[in-house]
Copies of this chain bind each other. A is one copy, B any other.
Amino acid sequence: MSVSLAPAGHMTCESCPIRHRAVCARCESDELARLDEIKYYRSYEAGQTVVWSGDRMDFVASVVSGIATLTQTMEDGRRQMVGLLLPSDFVGRPGRDGSPYDVVATTDLVMCCFRKKPFEGMMETTPHIAQRLLEMTLDELDAAREWMLVLGRKTAREKIASLLAIIARRDASLKLTSAGGQVAFDLPLTREAMADYLGLTLETVSRQMSALKADGVIILEGKRHITVPSYERLMDEAGDDSDGGMLA
């Protein structure tokens, strides 16, 4: 498994979401400079495993580009995806050694990493980092709990619609107009990965995608390009009352 250091030269600080979105938006400049000293970039190819469940994880990181998933696997092979990492999302557990799940790159992936020890050191001296991290972790917790409702109580059709709504909102949030807007995006997941996320089989995913297409909720070009004529309609299919914050 070849993990190469990404060409960091032309990655300006602007492109690192840790600094600007993920951790330290409120820190003063000399603290930012210290973050720079322990920062490095890594890239992975689609399909590569970033960390194995149980492995020691000696860094924390945020996604610069590409998509990664967090999955848990039972001994008999049943799998459940427990998180989806999109650009600017954070991975890693200050204060913990091992990862409780596999982290896998589902597309080509670039991450901005910080060695854990020095990062933890910075947390001690720079309170804003811990506070920002707490905020982010609370967001993830909300997302995980929202997803528990999806997994425990929604029908297959509602599950699919929920997932598409999340991706649409995230992927296309800037393009969304206030109400009933049309959105288009490329699905970054295989049917199998969708099934793993939703607690379904890939056949059921496929069938429900076909059904949503037949009912005009989505328009499919090829297998992966999706146009949502009405975001409102999609939310409706997802059975959500509010469009409240989910997403890992």
- A residues engaging B (CB < 8 A)? 70, 72, 74-76, 78-80, 82-83, 93-96, 100-101, 123-124, 127, 130-131, 133-135, 137-138, 140-142, 144-149, 151-154, 198-199, 239, 241, 244-245
Contact = CB atoms under 8 A, between A and B. Distances in A.
B151 A152 contact: yes
A61 to B, nearest CB: 16
A147 B131 CA distance: 26
Contact of A199 (B80, B95, B151): B151
A198 B199 CA distance: 14
A140 to B, nearest CB: 6
Contacts of A76: 239
Given A78-B153, A145-B72, A95 B244 contact: no
Given A75-B239, A100-B146, A144-B144, 10 more contacts: A74-B239, A93-B138, A94-B134, A95-B138, A100-B145, A123-B131, A124-B131, A127-B130, A130-B130, A148-B148
A134 B120 CA distance: 12
Nearest to A100: B142
A102 to B, nearest CB: 12
Contact of A134 (B75, B83, B124, B130): B130
Nearest to A142: B100
Contacts of A70: 145
Nearest to A95: B135
Contacts of A78: 153-154
Contacts of A148: 72, 80, 82, 144, 147-148, 151
A245 B98 CA distance: 12
A88 to B, nearest CB: 18
A83 B146 CA distance: 11
Contact of A137 (B74, B123, B141): B141
A94 to B, nearest CB: 7
